[in-house]
Amino acid sequence: MTSDSQEAKTARTASSTKGADKSFQDQEVDRMLVSGEEVLIRAKLHGAIYWKPFSILLFAVFVGLYIKPFGVLFGLVGVIYLCLMMLTKHYLLLAVTNKRVLARYGLLQMDVVDIRLSKIESIDLERMLPGHLFGYANVVVMGTGQRVIRVPYIGNAEDFRRFYNEMVLAEEGNEDVEASLRAEKVAVERTKAKKKKKSK
């Protein structure tokens, strides 16, 4: 009896420790999952999400050297914008599971949506000059019925789209692609485990 209770306590401790190691976005995705569903890949937000507020702050410093009131005004705008981007990075998420695509975007009007894989027509990338320079893109999920989800500043946008395309091919019966997906997932999990060991 004592042994059983000790094992249960150990299991609960391990579970809570595992949850503590996860980021806020990972915990939110886990909360949205249903029975039998697992995350295959999650989009990573790029640090370039801050380039606009930092540009405003640098401009504020430059203006402040000559016209102090305007420098303070632009500095205030830059700080507010920076706070908004920090909140945006905290709450934005995009993930592909074995059943659907999960997304949460927007701040003043936050939308949480999920689209079944069978209802997705394509996943496209939008990349302008800053995206080419910094290495990020906006991921656009095109659903049936003119449903469009646009999630900005995704650092692994190319990998995200490629993974989705390979998964679609696997569902169509391409066994080589399916085996490649499994191997890639195992490699990602091993890399995460190595990083956790190094951080400890």
Would you say residue 59 lies in a domain? yes
Would you say residue 184 lies in a domain? no
- For 82, the domain range is 44-91
From CA 43, how far away is CA 92, in angstroms rounded?
Answer: 10
Would you say residue 68 lies in a domain? yes
Would you say residue 72 lies in a domain? yes
Burial 51-84 (b: 16+ CB within 10 A, else e): bebeebbebbeebbeeeeeebeebbeebeebbee
35: tokens are 């029975």
Would you say residue 52 lies in a domain? yes
Query: How many domains would you assign to the chain?
Result: 1
Would you say residue 48 lies in a domain? yes
Asked whether the beta carbons of 41 and 162 are under 8 A apart, the reply is no
Report the predicted TM-score, pTM, of the whole model to 2 decimal places: 0.66
Would you say residue 33 lies in a domain? no
pLDDT, tens digit only, all 200 positions of the chain: 444 444 444 444 444 434 456 777 778 778 888 888 888 888 888 988 999 999 999 999 999 999 999 999 999 999 999 999 998 888 888 888 888 888 888 776 677 888 888 888 888 999 988 888 888 999 998 888 778 888 899 999 998 888 888 877 776 654 555 556 566 666 666 776 776 666 66
Angstrom CA distances, 65 to 51, 69, 73, stand at: 22, 10, 13
